[in-house]
Amino acid sequence: MAQIDIFNGDADGICALTQLRNAEPLQSTLITGVKRDIALVAKAEVRAGDRITALDLSFDKNRDGVLKALQAGAEVFYVDHHFAGEIPESDRLTTIIDPDPNVCTSLLINGYLKGKYVEWAVTGAFGDNLKASARTLAGPLGFSEKQLTLLENLGIYMNYNGYGSSLEDLHFPPAELFQLVCPFRSPFAFVEGAADAFAKLEAGYRGDMAAAAAIKPRRQTDKTAVIVLPNEAWARRVSGVYSNDLANGSPGRAHAVLTERPDGTYLVSVRAPLENKRGADELCRQFPTGGGRAAAAGINALPADQLDAFIDALAASYV
């Protein structure tokens, strides 16, 4: 019997699994990738009796992989906050799925563990740009503003690290970052005990964000803004967190950050207005390779000839 941990390579996925493996330390096979690499369950080599934990991955995108694992005789524990679609019934499948736009996987795991590693849950929520949820959860803990800022920055940096078209774009492969993080029972201990890793993430984030801020919007109104970034590694790394930064700066506006890909398509990151967290998933699912959740969604490869249609659809979604 083997334990297989399958998780999204962003802050939420890593912080969710860090909570679980601090609560139940064990050796496991890790399956993850860049943030956009979502259909991961099918990559697992599963045998009867294996235990699979899947975190922060759309069930809708992994249904076939889950069914295959169940048919092989594995047990599956699935926790997520994205669009799920129909969930099959099985005695070997346990799910905690909540698509509420103010919830993330780290928060769901925090509830499951009854707050045992709540600081990691706060960090994961900050990383998923759920500032209000993170601060609400942190409220009873008595953190200073300096401590909260540190947790927020760590979450942002971990989330930033997951973006890219390949592992080569990233400062740390997500599996490696998880292995660096997991030995620490709290994010404060990680920042102190793995100072070099934290400094590398921070320096990369600041440099890439400065480069993104120099790009002028392709189209901008009071309701929507579209920014197109070049086919560069820094742009691929910064696409998601830059979208979050824009959303926080203009909470009444929807934002789309598009990054040129080598094949001529665009990687798209959409953030619904923070004042109206809805519609991003529906917008992106109108296009091939699109998906996500109501507040934040994306398209993996938008064809160039659909760029204008996407910009028009964004404007029509938020009027």
Q: Which helix (H) or strand (E) holds 202?
A: helix 195-213
pTM over 0.95: no
- Label residue 209 exposed, middle or buried (CB < 10 Å: 0-12, 13-18, 19+): middle
Q: Looking at residue 239, what is its pLDDT? A: 84
Q: Looking at residue 241, what is its pLDDT? A: 87
Nearest to 46 by CA among 13, 87, 6: 6
Give the residue ranges of the chain where pLDDT is below 50. Answer: none
Q: Are 42 and 65 in contact (CB under 8 A)?
A: yes
What Cα–Cα distance (Å) separates residue 38 from each residue in 55, 57, 80, 134, 153?
10, 6, 12, 24, 24
Q: Are 8 and 35 in contact (CB under 8 A)?
A: yes
Q: Looking at residue 208, what is its pLDDT? A: 96
The domains located in the chain, with CATH, are 3-203 (3.90.1640), 216-317 (3.10.310.30)
Q: Can you read off the two tokens belonging to residue 217?
A: 């919007």
Q: Looking at residue 240, what is its pLDDT? A: 83
What is the DSSP-derived secondary structure letter of residue 44?
A: S
CB atoms inside a 10 Å sphere around CB 58 = 22
